[in-house]
Structure 1
Amino acid sequence: MHDSLIDDEKAGISDSSGTLMNKINESTVSMSTKILNELGIQSIIDVPKDLRVLFSALDFTTKHNDFHIPLQKRGDGLQTRHIPYILDFVARRSKTHHIWAYEEPENSLEIGKAYELARQFKTEFSKDNQIFITTHSPAFYDISGDVAKRFHVYQDKRNNDSDMFSHTAVITSRNEADSFVGTAAFIATRVKSLIEEHKELKNSHLELKKRLQESNLPQIVVEGPTDKIIFDKAIEVLFPNDSFCEIISANCATKLQSYLEASNYVSKDTSLPIIGIFDNDMEGRVAYQKIKNVRSLEGMTGKVISTPKKIYALLLPLSDEINTIQEAINENMDGTFNVSVPIEFMFPSGVLNSAINDGAIELEHITTNARDRDTIIPTNITEIVSQHIEKEEYRHLAMKINDSTKGSFANWICEQPDETFTPLKEFLEQVKVLCQT
């Protein structure tokens, strides 16, 4: 770093060191005068001609909360992450071409950070540097593309020679590389998937947070864009001239859960409530149940995530009739079947049948495979459950919606008479009260 800064005229290190010494000597002029008078020698403080001595005493200082901590006192992983930035800084300011020899950069890094560093090697540090890496980590040998070539280096005998020699072979696929590291490859595949999922959730949360900051109304966050279309229309026709909230789509139940929990920790207290509404189906219930350490919301199927910040999670309600049907199914089957009620099933069977006849929505049978050791038997859950639903108009509860038709149904329902949305009125009236608390 010393050499690159000295060579970089824009940095002005040499001029700055001269200015520093002038200031020091101005402050110590009385001492220099006494030395001259008593010893007859003119003596001043001077900076070393080779500033490497000074640079060897420099160190990074890192901030942690309100404390400034020398980098050497931090963990090995954090120290390791600084190295490529320093090397890249030197290379960009040097007049010579640099070749990096980097041994096992994954050392001291947890696997998620290893993938981050590998991405930086590919997209940033390799732009102005030639880099040789040795690694045992899938995070690094998974680097591919025009900027990378991969080799397997191993020991083996040559011909009939008894001595061992180093050999190299070009790696042509990730599967080939995985075979060299064994079970680590399977673990890494799962971790990489989780890292990408976490990144997507983080981006989604930042987008939702931005929307919240820009809004002047309470926020109703729903699972998907079709839920938003239906709720927007329902509020328009059921509460004319009363825009008491803004509906936002989280794009899935998992992102909705993540956003609500994160808002509790990172958002400041606000006078505007944040209310998440989950579908009462398997995906929605799983995400809803993951919200822990909260208290129940009185009068609704919901949770109070934060009273000061007015953050709530709601589950679409089951009518008394549907609850009775579900109890009867489980009693007759001597098992457990949880009826799924996405927002589309909040509408009565007559509306759903009209939508089916108009080609706006498709319902499918729920199927699975029953397994017993080596035996696999296809099982139609819909046919089994339907036998225990007496009323024909409720047998759609034993089926599932073809996801590809959710958009067409949302558009179709918005074209129906205003009274079509009456089944949502009681629930939305409760939501409105929550918005105004």
Structure 2
Amino acid sequence: MKSNDWLHGFRHSSPYINAHRGRTVVLTMPGDAIEHRNFINIIHDIALLSSLGVKLVVAFGGRPQIQSRLDDAGLESSFARGLRITPDNHLPMVMEAIGGLRAYLESQLSMGLVNSPMHNARIRVSSGNYVTAKPVGVLDGIDFGYTGRVRRVDTRGIEQLLELGHIVLLPPMGYSPTGDAFNLSYEDVGSQVAAALQAEKLIVFIDDEGLLEEDGSLIRELSARQASERLNDNAVTGHDAALLKAACDACVKGVRRAHIISYVEDGALLEELFTRDGSGTLVSGDNYEQIRQARVEDIGGILELIQPLEEQGVLVRRSREMLETEIDRFVVAERDGTIVGCAALYHYPEEGSGELSCFAVDPSYRRAGRGDEILAMVEKLARGQGVHKLFVLTTQTEHWFRERGFVPTAVQDLPGPKLASYNTQRNSKVFYKPL
């Protein structure tokens, strides 16, 4: 029998396609990825993203290529603080290696063979002096020479190219007003450019499937705060620490999501962007904002949030005593110490279903996607509890739920205990969503 798995996946990718169209995504590509046999598949995936209307910036590195060029010239490399020291006599070889990589990437993105995934792609690739750099200088008595850091990003110039549909290619080089060129780390370029553009996502390629725990298991998700704590505790070391710091810094500066994914695994980029579970490690933005399990000390904030909705008849009234006994069922969205959203999940294990209840978002944050983020958290918790069907009772927000995959059902379809307590005077409509 012919498998239709591809059809199912293609249909379910449409919400993600719509969500990413017109958004800016910054990709950071290490030189090791460019030499890997899977790189041609990454090129094809970049072409596909471009054809789907994603605005792409590619910041690439060239450490192995630079090392090879210096070795050929008989020059010895030195490193400190994870950075290559670039004396003036090394700079020409660095520029030569990076220039060759830029030309190679442009050639790969220009492919259009009839029998290739890039047939008729006609991708326009642009690069230039969009990164102003400054020297690292002397640290711990070590002169880093022409090794630099990002000083300023020409966001207007990059955005104009993105609006024209170009892929913007950024080498690990920056230039100064004095006419000097500096060797930069590609992680710094990617992170700083993503932050300057307020990009929707920063994609960081790595040789593993993502960041790993000590036992080798994949770390699926970290908030910027959790990522910073791991870095401070030296729980992540080596080059992985530099990559995580780049992701964390970008999120703190306004990038909503950073994704650390594999350049070895075919399709990791598409899986991360177009499937629910993704393929690597997600670092989420705003370390002063988080969606988490509620605690007893949140009760005051929850009551303040839901009271106006209770008075309007949107929510069923809940006493402080009830909240105290059911607080473990709640999740909250906290921003800078204030509860700006909440929801509760009631599990009915015999029916394999769960109820989304007491769903509230502060009016000031309803257009910022907080409701969607809280719903995603509840759905994640529900799946973890074995819930196959999530239902909600509502009197005034029918269309919001329908737009998010909930479909109407009869009151009689409610789980037995919920049906027995159904308030006919409220006459709430019932909607469910399969998980």
The structure showing larger relative contact order (alpha-carbon pairs under 8 Å, at least 6 residues apart) is 2
Would you call these one fold, judging by a TM-score over 0.5?
Answer: no
Going by fraction, where is helix more abundant, 1 or 2? 1
Going by fraction, where is strand more abundant, 1 or 2? 2
TM-score by length of 2: 0.20
TM-score by length of 1: 0.20
Task: Report the structure number with the largest CA radius of gyration.
Answer: 1
